[in-house]
Structure 1
Amino acid sequence: MLKHILKAVQIHAAAEYPNESCGVLISIGRKQKYIPCPNTATDPSEEFRIAPEDYAAAEDEGEVIGIVHSHPDATSRPSPRDLAMCEATELPWHILSWPEGDLRTIVPTGHTPLLGRPFVHGAWDCWQVCADWYKREWGLEFDAFKREDGWWEQAEGPSLYEQAYEAAGFERVGTPQRGDMIVMEVGRTKHPNHAGIYLGSDPALPGESSAVHGAGPFLLHHMYGKPSEIIVFGGPWHDRTRLILRHKDAKH
């Protein structure tokens, strides 16, 4: 990071302390500029959020080439959310510990393992593990799917899966085949709010070791607060199934 950029980031971190500071790094021709943004998170001492309108304003001024935020009274080591959102934004993330002043940069790898990833809503969650499987297994890609925290806890009404599956290219089917999306009702809600990929009798994942026990059929999924995993799809999971969805470009 250029010296004048680092100085601007440090000044912003000091001004926002003990809350997290946040902003974006932009490129204007050959020049770089740090644009500080308000932290609109509910608890700015623990996390940060850049409002869409602030991000859009930065894009109007130049090309966004990085996300910057501080870790008050903590090291610059990235949190699971930092790692997840770095992958989701496909941009370098610069993390400044404050007041220590250590700066660390993380870059997207483009290939987060499907198994064992920590749960980070909006970046590493049940929808994303499904979307990543489709991309790696079949080359299918989906537009960014915005979802608010806690949507899965709605007491009633159509869920995001019910609202969006047709527009995403899925249709309802009766009997699952490998690659179908299984949408289930978990918790105390009355609508389908959790999804996984039906793997049938073959739990193999592209480029990963996925040793599991049991005879199958298997399901890849990512529950709230738990690492992503492959489970045997039966018993209560089968009973919770509300939708079986097949993509129009399914490669069965």
Structure 2
Amino acid sequence: MRKHILASIQAHTAQAYPHECCGLLLAIGRKHVYLPCENIATDPTEEFRIAPEAFAAAEDQGEVIGIVHSHPDATSRPSPRDLAMCEATELPWHILSWPEGDLRTIVPTGNTPLLGRPFVHGAWDCWQVCADWYKREMGLEFPAFERQDGWWEDAAGPSLYEQAYQAAGFDRVSVPQRGDMIVMAVGRTAHPNHAGIYLGADPSLPGEASGVHGQGPFLLHHLYGRPSEIIVFGGPWLDRSRMILRQHGYHPA
């Protein structure tokens, strides 16, 4: 990183301390600049959030080539959320510890394993593991659906899955086959608030070893607070099922 950029980030970090600072690296023509942003997170000592309007305004000035934030009174080691959001934004993330002053850069790999990823709502969650499976198995790309923490507990009106499945190219079916998305109700509500990929008798995954053996049917899912996993789809999980959704034109071999 260029010295003047690092100096700007350090000055912003010191000014924001003990809150996390955040900003964007821009390429404006042949020049690189650091653009400080306001941290609008609810608890800026623990996380950061850049307003969508600020990000859009930055894009009007130049190309966003990196995202910057600080870790007050902590190392520059990325958190699970940092890793997840780096993948989601498809941009390098630069993390500066403060007052330690160590700068670390992480870059998206584009191929986070489907199994064993930590739960990070909005980036690595039940919808995202389904979306990533469809991308690797079928080459499908879905829009970034906005979802707020706690939506799964709101039983007033249709859930996000009920609202969005048709626009995302899914049809409701009655009998599952491999590749269907099973939408379930978990927790203290009958609200359809959780989903997984029905794998049938074959727990294999595109591009990685599942390490799962035995008799299915199997389901790939990512439950709140737990790593993503493959489970046997039966018993209470079957009882929690509310919808079976199939992508238009998907016919597994």
Q: How far, CA to CA, are the matches of 2:11 and 2:236 in structure 1?
A: 54
Provide Cα deviations, 1:76-100, integer angstroms capped at 9, x if missing partner.
0000000000000000000000011
Q: Is the 8 A contact 1:126 1:196 kept in 2?
A: yes
In structure 1, runs of 5+ residues without a counterpart are none
Find the counterpart in structure 2 of residue 200 from structure 1: 200
1:142 matched to 2:142? The reply is: yes
TM-score normalised to structure 1 length: 0.98
- Could you list the structure 1 runs, at least 4 aligned residues long, displaced by more than 4 angstroms after superposition: none
Q: Is the 8 A contact 1:214 1:232 kept in 2?
A: no
Find the counterpart in structure 2 of residue 28 from structure 1: 28
Q: How far, CA to CA, are the matches of 2:221 and 2:237 in structure 1?
A: 11
Q: How far, CA to CA, are the matches of 2:201 and 2:131 in structure 1?
A: 20
Backbone CA RMSD of aligned residues = 0.8
Q: Is the 8 A contact 1:157 1:191 kept in 2?
A: no
Find the counterpart in structure 1 of residue 37 from structure 2: 37
Find the counterpart in structure 2 of residue 240 from structure 1: 240
Q: Is the 8 A contact 2:153 2:191 kept in 1?
A: no
Provide Cα deviations, 1:160-201, integer angstroms capped at 9, x if missing partner.
000000000001000000000000000112310000000000
Letter in 2 for 1:51: A
Letter in 2 for 1:192: P
1:170 matched to 2:170? The reply is: yes
Q: How far, CA to CA, are the matches of 2:225 and 2:65 in structure 1?
A: 31
Letter in 2 for 1:163: Q
Q: Is the 8 A contact 2:118 2:228 kept in 1?
A: yes
SS in 2 for 1:166: coil
Provide Cα deviations, 1:201-238, integer angstroms capped at 9, x if missing partner.
00000121112243100000000000000000000000
**Equivalent residues, number:** 252
In structure 2, runs of 5+ residues without a counterpart are none
**Percent of pairs with identical residues:** 80
Q: How far, CA to CA, are the matches of 1:68 and 1:218 in structure 2?
A: 40
Q: How far, CA to CA, are the matches of 1:195 and 1:122 in structure 2?
A: 14
Letter in 1 for 2:165: Y
